[in-house]
Amino acid sequence: MRTVSTLFAGAAFAAASLGVAAPASAATICFAFQDLETEFWVAGHTAITRTLEEAGHTVIERNANEDANRQLEQVRDCIAQGVDGIIIIPQDGESAVTIVNEAQDNDVPIAVFNRPPSDLSKGIIVVADNASIASQAVDFLAQEAIANREGDGKLTPMIIVGDLGDPNAVGRKDGFYAALENYPDDFNTPIEVASEWDAATALANLEAAVTANPEIDLLFTSSDFLFPTIRSVFEPRGMWVPRGEAGHVVMGGLDGDATACQLLKEGFIDSTGVQDLYFEAEAALNAILAAIEAGEAQPNEVIEDPGFALTSANLGEREMDMWGCVLLSEGFLDQ
């Protein structure tokens, strides 16, 4: 609750900065999300709901609590209530396809925020180019790890993968491998740790992986929300060390949340791939409102967020382009 209220400040910033088109008439929008477990989802939820409400629209919120069947039933309820449009953060890519079809069959325009359906041909899909963003972040990590290498041996990389039923997780994994392919002589086969987007699962699997492979030179987590979990595994083993000190593991993630921003500033991590949350929220809102205004029931469009990598090298220049750093500057982590 504190997190949500704190993020209102960020949302106010977002609402002020989101260039959402003024509607001819107020619309009723159903916003169905799968959960609000991470900073990214909370910030995205807040930006969308506050912006819509401040623009005079009615928002019907539905939290599926990570249950795909419940989300389908909630969206059907929204359709029965006669909403003008739907924005969803789906549980996974497969259920997103079913829900988009359900909405379009009932002539209700639908936008999918950040977690894309397995089939991108239907609905307004706002998605980050996860492979490209991950590749940029990991490329920087690879260069850092090579620069810090002691001796001639190959380095050992590790990736914490997300739930591979989520296309975002697949894109991030692909980007990781694509970046390391540029350095074939420098890295061993990466060690994969499954997280299923669940901190408890990640903790158990990471502990096992680090116990079996204590000599890790590079770690990439598919989501920044797992940094506290990584810290709890690394710190007792003396692996949670800032840049420039002996034992530092070159580390990065993807999302661009406030925790990642702080860790980057403190030197514990070296890069993070940034999704432009406010751009994505604005794009989703503008597209769905435009479709409602035009009376278009089945709008199909893919809007890509190119994103970027915030690294220890460009931190000074691009810090405030990252939504997590904006929240951090507003005292988010001090609350």
Which one of 17, 28, 94, 262 is in contact with another protein (CB under 8 A)?
Answer: 94
Least Cβ distance, residue 117 to another protein (angstroms): 11
Q: Does 73 participate in binding another protein (rule CB under 8 A)?
A: yes
> Which position among 9, 12, 23, 76 is part of the footprint of another protein (CB under 8 A)?
76
- CB-count burial class (<10 Å; 0-12, 13-18, 19+) for 64: buried
Cα dihedral 165/168/174/179 (nearest 10)? -160
For 194, other C-beta atoms within 10 Å of its C-beta total 17
Contact between 7 and another protein by CB under 8 A: the answer reads no
Strands in 157-161's sheet, in edge-to-edge order, are 191-194, 157-161, 218-221, 250-255, 271-274, 308-311
Q: Determine, following the binding rule CB under 8 A, whether residue 164 of this chain makes contact with another protein.
A: yes
Interacting residue with another protein among 54, 67, 207, 301 (CB under 8 A): 67
Among 194, 199, 290, 303, binds another protein (CB under 8 A): 194
Write the CA distances from 226 to 194, 198, 231, 253, integer angstroms.
12, 9, 9, 9
DSSP string, 232-250: HHHGGGT----TTSTTPPE
H/E stretch holding 227: helix 227-234
Our finding on whether 188 is near another protein (CB under 8 A) is no
Residues 101-160 that bind another protein (CB under 8 A): 105-108, 118
Question: Is 63 a residue that touches another protein (CB under 8 A)?
Answer: yes
- 8 Å CB contact between 90 and 111: no
Read off φ and ψ for residue 240, nearest 5 degrees: -100, 85
| 92 vs 276 by CB, closer to another protein | 92
Q: Do the beta carbons of residue 143 and residue 135 sit within 8 Å?
A: no
* Residues sharing a CB contact under 8 Å with residue 287, sequence separation 6 or more, in sequence order: 111, 124, 126, 299, 301, 303
Which C-beta is closer to another protein: that of 66 or that of 304? 66
| C-beta closer to another protein: residue 125 or 249 | 125
Q: Which of residues 210-239 bind another protein (CB under 8 A)?
A: none
What span, in angstroms and rounded, lies between the C-alpha atoms of 325 and 311?
13
Q: Is 204 in the site for another protein (CB under 8 A)?
A: no
Query: For residue 169, which amino acid is it?
Result: A
Can you tell me which of 29, 52, 68, 291 binds another protein, judged by CB under 8 A? 68
Q: What is the longest distance spanned by two Cα atoms in the chain?
A: 67
CB of 10 to another protein, least distance (A): 21
Q: Does 66 bind another protein (CB under 8 A)?
A: yes
Residue 64 engages another protein in binding (rule: CB under 8 A)? yes
DSSP 67: -
Structure tokens at 195: 């997280």
Contact status: 290 vs another protein (CB under 8 A): no
Total residues interacting with another protein, rule: CB under 8 A: 36
Q: Give the range of 72-80, 140-148, 208-216, 303-311 binding another protein by CB under 8 A.
A: 72-80
- Decide if residue 335 touches another protein (CB under 8 A): no
Could you say which residues in the range 19-58 bind another protein, by CB under 8 A?
none
- Whether the CB-CB separation of 226 and 7 falls below 8 Å is answered with no
For another protein, give the closer residue by CB, 75 or 283. 75
Stretch that binds another protein, among 17-25, 88-96, 254-262, 281-289 (CB under 8 A): 88-96
Single residue of 170, 209, 239, 269 touching another protein by CB under 8 A: 170
List contacts with another protein (CB under 8 A): 60-70, 72-74, 76-77, 79-82, 92, 94-95, 97-98, 105-108, 118, 163-165, 170, 194, 196
